[in-house]
Amino acid sequence: MEETKIILDENEIPKRWYNILPDLPEPLPPVIHPGTKEPIGPQDLAPLFPMELIKQEVSQDRWIKIPDDIRDVYTLWRPSPLYRARRLEKVLKTPAKIYFKYEGVSPAGSHKPNTAVAQAYYNMKEGVDRLTTETGAGQWGSALSFATSLFDLACTVYMVKISYEQKPYRRSLMNLWGAEVTPSPSTRTNAGKKILEENPDTTGSLGIAISEAVEDAATHDDAKYSLGSVLNHVLLHQTVIGLEAKKQLEKIGEYPDLITSSCGGGSNFAGIAFPFLYDKLKGDKKDLQAIAVEPMACPTLTKGIYAYDFGDTAMLTPLIKMYTLGHDFVPPGIHAGGLRYHGDAPTVCLLYHHGVIGATAYHQNEVFEAATTFSRAEGIVVAPEAAHAVKLVVDEAVKCRKTGEEKTILFNLSGHGHFDMGAYDAYFSGALEDYEYPADLVKKALEKVPKL
């Protein structure tokens, strides 16, 4: 019988992360200081990040060694399994082969600890006492809480208010690992106070929560800031996913025709896709498709503009060139809280701008329909974020049924949905709303994108 689960030994955990920067179609546009309008240097980032992460952010080394202490922690859940979704294939009556890398086996239940552990480690090595961060759905916040508990660091999490209310057990999980969790916007920071004065009933956004976490870190000498997506060093750490998947597929003589995952800030997509895109960028796998999937309520790549913008709402961060919906755009309160971000990783954006990768967007009802089909076939409860990739996989598999094409599809199931049953309840009761792309609000937000 052909294998359904492809596993690796602990000694096969990657020893190096893959850095895509030297292989991009063109150099990444510089990060700009909002005050001087000049490219920033390491000294500008030092108040927020430890020096080792700053070096990784700009490194042109294709391969970066994973410290043994980090690989040791990775063994708690890595290597993660690669599954062949045979039952889903049967349900869809498709000739396509569907494989998924399952990151829900981590202690926090998602892919996020891959970078949380690395960031906590490097901060600990430089004597930092506390990390501040933001979180949407709570997966990043719980991952960093887990990681800081391992390295004896304090952790302060600013959780987007709508998710704070929708996902109470994510809060409990962060508390369990010793973190302090605050709904954002809050009265703890000047950024939060200002936003609450302007809109007391706001549901919050990742952009707002980032502002609060950055302000907290920048105004306390004992603290640094930790980011769960977007920046190069974060995406770098996530490439353990794709590197493992590559090795697992090699064991059975397979290579994907199509790779996909959900995309909010880009770390999940980069984690699974970048090690394979290395082959495409070299010219070896020119026909490889890689498609990022967004929510229709926050369609950054598919509806945004490619321009310099702030990564946060209060304009505290440097300016980065990315696809953006505008830094003060507040998306509707969809259940895929981890995808409610106005921007995207600069590397992902540059690849999309050059046509190396594609992108699409879906409404949340059709996403939950696909997730339900998957769960009833494969048994795994899918997080709302990861369900976006499942929707594309189902669509592509149905296309193969109609054309007879035996395509090999790989996707990253980036997290389980055990804390998201409220969203499934809303779907089954017909209470889940589909939000149309709010063109007028985005147009208004885009007017505030800085002109350089």
pTM here is: 0.94
233-257 tens-digit pLDDT: 999 999 999 999 999 999 999 999 9
C-beta of residue 279 within 8 angstroms of C-beta of residue 23: no
283-296 tens-digit pLDDT: 999 999 999 999 99
Q: Identify the DSSP state of 447.
A: T
> 79-113: buried (b, 16+ CB within 10 Å) or exposed (e) per residue?
bbbbbbbeebbebbebebbbbbbbbbebbbbbbbb
Q: Note the pLDDT of residue 68.
A: 97
Tokens of 349: 């954006």
Q: Note the pLDDT of residue 334.
A: 65
Q: Cα separation of 438 and 283, whole Å?
A: 39
The yes/no answer on whether domain 5-10+67-107+237-446 falls in CATH 3.40.50.1100 is yes
> 392-414: buried (b, 16+ CB within 10 Å) or exposed (e) per residue?
bbbebbeebeeeeeebebbbbbb
Q: What residue segments make up the domains of the chain, in order of their start? A: 5-10+67-107+237-446
379-393 tens-digit pLDDT: 999 999 999 999 999
32: Cβ–Cβ under 8 A, 6 or more apart, which residues?
A: 38, 39, 40, 308, 318, 319, 320, 452
Cβ neighbours around 425 below 10 Å, total: 11
65-86 tens-digit pLDDT: 999 999 999 999 999 999 999 9
**pLDDT tier at 333, thresholds 50, 70, 90:** low
Calculate mean pLDDT across residues 98-114. 97
203-239 tens-digit pLDDT: 898 889 989 999 999 999 999 999 999 999 999 999 9
Q: Note the pLDDT of residue 138.
A: 86
**pLDDT tier at 55, thresholds 50, 70, 90:** very high
179-212 tens-digit pLDDT: 999 999 999 999 999 999 999 999 898 889 989 9
Give me the sign of the Cα torsion angle 378, 381, 385, 391: positive
Q: If you write DSSP's letter for every residue of 134-177 in order, what string do you get?
A: EESSSHHHHHHHHHHHHTT-EEEEEEEHHHHHH-HHHHHHHHHT
Q: Note the pLDDT of residue 335.
A: 64
Q: Note the pLDDT of residue 337.
A: 60
